[in-house]
Structure 1
């Protein structure tokens, strides 16, 4: 019998314990990083006994893999409208993410990425697939519609916007959408206009006859 099969024997598992443990593990990791990511700290945070964790995960690394798999992010809900409004919603979603517990988790994972490149690298591959690839498709459609110049670099455009939101939040320039929705929206729209100036299609100059 494998270790996983052995852990599945015994009394039925309470599904709520797994949810509590995953949320607690995320909070512990945000506060203490890999060094403090222990079953003892996670059990204390979740309010459960360590045996409950050992019945589900053999090691802390196995638990971390489960945390990363459960940490699902979705792309911004973008309106079926012009690219300006779509990019504004992407910028707002980035601000909300950066200033949330999930965003703090991502930053912590990024800071320790080199310590476990295989484990954390796969996590960022999934983030790119879920979020960046979806947003890239919106930009490419805008180019096809003629809203953006043919030579617009979709990746560079998106990174210019999301990077500005990240730095703006970290440096305290960007308003918190939860506390100042209007200010955050205006911050995003201003950034979008600045970035779009370089990728809007050229307007033919008016010729005098």
Structure 2
């Protein structure tokens, strides 16, 4: 080794350290909120030295913003079947999110939204853009093809279903998709059918004749 060799001494870098630190950062934020979100706490939770964090993130704000950007907020790909099946898939994806560590993270971010600056607002803008807009488009397309009544409101349908999943989890009324998958799926079906009402039994226009005709 020459005098000009600046390679770091000691253990080689862990190739998965970023994923490890992001998970640790999420857990630290969940447990302590913004006041307790420090490099020292994250490094201890991740089992790494603080220099490993300083090499990758200039500040705790930058680290937390990286955690927010790393979240895959779009639900799993919905079915290609009728809108009822798609909405049940959306409901189940939302229930799984609400029942997970990521869901707890979303709730904590929401509770501190006013103190998180622009990064929290960007987080929820992605939430609206990626999840709600995508799901709303599915409902709008179902209305367009005559599978749902023309007077249905796509926003209200989506919010009624996803809201029932979130509230059901908060109030411990919804079955856990991890502890009881069958009961969770049944819960999602019942919520969707309740929201759709008569439209839950409405055939697509190309199967049951033009919308609004006898």
The bucket for the TM-score relative to the shorter chain is 0.7 to 0.9
What pairs with 1:163-178 in structure 2 (closer than 5 Å)? Answer: 163-178=163-178
Distance 1:190 1:166 in 2: 15
Partner of 1:5: none
Question: TM-score w.r.t. structure 1 length?
Answer: 0.87
Q: Which moved more, 1:72-81 or 1:127-136?
A: 72-81
Q: Note the C-alpha offset of 1:14.
A: 3.8
Partner of 1:63: 63
Partner of 1:4: none
Establish whether residue 103 from structure 1 lines up as the match of residue 103 from structure 2.
yes
Structure 1, unaligned runs of 5 or more: 1-8
Q: Which moved more, 1:10-19 or 1:97-106?
A: 10-19
- 8 Å CA contact retained: 1:75, 1:130: no
Establish whether residue 19 from structure 1 lines up as the match of residue 19 from structure 2.
yes
Q: Note the C-alpha offset of 1:179.
A: 1.2
Distance 1:195 1:176 in 2: 21
Partner of 2:3: none
Q: Note the C-alpha offset of 1:150.
A: 1.1
Offset from partner CA, 1:144-193 (integer Å, 9 cap, x none): 11111112111111000000111111111110011111111111111111
Q: Which moved more, 1:76-85 or 1:168-177?
A: 76-85
Distance 1:110 1:98 in 2: 13
Partner of 2:127: 127
Query: How many matched pairs?
Result: 197
Structure 2, unaligned runs of 5 or more: 1-5, 203-210
Offset from partner CA, 1:95-152 (integer Å, 9 cap, x none): 1000001111111111100112411000111111111111111101100111111121
Matched residue SS, 1:15: coil
Q: Note the C-alpha offset of 1:74.
A: 2.1
Question: TM-score w.r.t. structure 2 length?
Answer: 0.85
- 8 Å CA contact retained: 2:139, 2:154: yes
